[in-house]
Amino acid sequence: MQQFPHLYVEGRWVEPVQPRTVDLLDPTREEPFARVAMGSSADVDLAVAAARRAFPAFAATTVAERVAMIDRVVAAYEARLEEFAELIAHEVGIPVSNRAQVTGPAQHMRVARDLLRDHPFESSIGDAIVRREPIGVVAVISPWNWPVQTGVIKTVYALAAGCTVVAKPSVESAASGALLAQVLHEAQLPPGVFNLVNGAGRDVGEALTRHPGVDMVSFTGSTAAGRAVGAAAAQTVKRTSLELGGKSASIVLPDADLERAARWNVGRCFVNTGQSCHAPSRLLVHESQLAEVTDVLVEEAGRFRLGDPMDPGTTMGPLVSAAQYASVRSHVQTALDEGAVLVTGGLERPAGLDRGWFVQPTVFTGVTPDMTVAREEVFGPVLAVLSYRDEAEALQIANDSPYGLGGYVWGGSRETARRVVNGLRAGRVSYNGAATDSHTPMGGYKQSGTGRSMGRFGLEEHLEVKSVYGFQDEARALPSTFP
């Protein structure tokens, strides 16, 4: 069993104030594979104090110094790519074939580094200087479904801005969180600039969000948890950046390449065993094309190879935990009870897999907008197919959701598709399967969250804005905030 017996505070590996550990279960084998240290509010106090002590000096570092620091982190991280891939396969069931999970973080680090080089930390409006200064101590609370990448994005943009960090990964992904702390330690960050406290959300997470020494909370997780984070953070009026749940709609217009849209949607919906907040889990198809698209969906869902995430040939691993397994199965049963038509998948275990939290790739047709499977985030490989009569109804169905994280549109006419794209109430929309870009902002409308991560907008999230008057000559020499 792998051992991660320490927290990371002020540049040192330390035992928790009240020593306690928890065993992490391998979701493929349903047995312990690692033991990690668990902190408490007392450890949060120590970590926040360390981050506050480190902040003044780190905030005063030059852009060149922070660029060099990120380069060291990238090098240390890339030396451990295979170790990360194997660890998260055991930790949360992500197949080693899903290389984006481990290669993506380095790309995000490089983007943050490059943006940092020419970011206008000082600009002007008229005769005033507008300064952008690091907000302070940032609490980074990251989820288990993209266990390394989400934590990296939050941390690297905070560091690029000149902030110090106290990180709390999900308990389910605490082992990879500890390995990431080791990477930052090897990159020789100044003591206290990055700190790690593992622990439960109701203990360590709440202590961080309420802590008066924390200036910002960057959180990714469920909408229910996000509400609690926002309410706790409001007690000390700290900034929050919340990336929460999603129930993204994918609208296939009648003139789209139907087969391409269907195959792409299944692949995107079921990647990561459907445990992705941007998953296009509602597929909206014109009523005249429903029968045609169903056969393609069933065929494409059958292409997934379920099995051991350590096998390079596996394309779908298990769900992360017994609780998630029970939740997804409950949603499937509810869909059946409410009259949705099961066309593939279902409640039966996948053939040949008698242990592990595996579920079949599942597709429902005959779904109506009021059904639970069309409204709640399942967070598993379950696709709900809905039909619509015209463009207006498609948009109405797509936007009839408390969420607004992602959206997808497929069509032949760019003019029509652009009109539909503009009508979607979502923070990130893709046309005809266009790839996303790590330079662009990510975040949600409505109950999918507040704030933006990634790119220039992600850097700005971690900066305060100060107006300075009386230095007219210096101001006139700066670039204008509004060129």
The tokens of 255 are what?
């003139």
Contact 434, 414 (CB under 8 A): no
Q: How far apart are CA 131 and CA 427, in angstroms?
A: 28
Burial of 128 (0-12, 13-18, 19+ CB in 10 A): middle
Catalytic residue (one of 91, 122, 172, 243): 243
- Closest of 199, 190, 209, 123 to residue 168, by C-alpha: 199
CB half-sphere exposure, 199, CA atoms < 13 A: 27
Q: How far apart are CA 426 and CA 433, in angstroms?
A: 16
CB half-sphere exposure, 343, CA atoms < 13 A: 21
Contact 10, 191 (CB under 8 A): yes
Active site residue 243: yes
According to DSSP, the residues that pair with 217 across neighbouring strands are 139, 240
Residue with tokens 């065929």: 299
- Closest of 26, 147, 48, 155 to residue 462, by C-alpha: 155
The tokens of 131 are what?
């300064």
Catalytic residue (one of 277, 300, 377, 461): 277
Active site residue 277: yes
**Could you give phi then psi for residue 141, rounded to 5 degrees?**
-120, 110
Which residue type sits at 74? Answer: V
The tokens of 137 are what?
């101590």
Residues near 198 by beta carbon (within 8 Å), at least 6 away in sequence: 7, 36, 37, 38, 39, 168, 169, 171, 174, 177, 178, 204
Which residues belong to the active site?
A: 243, 277
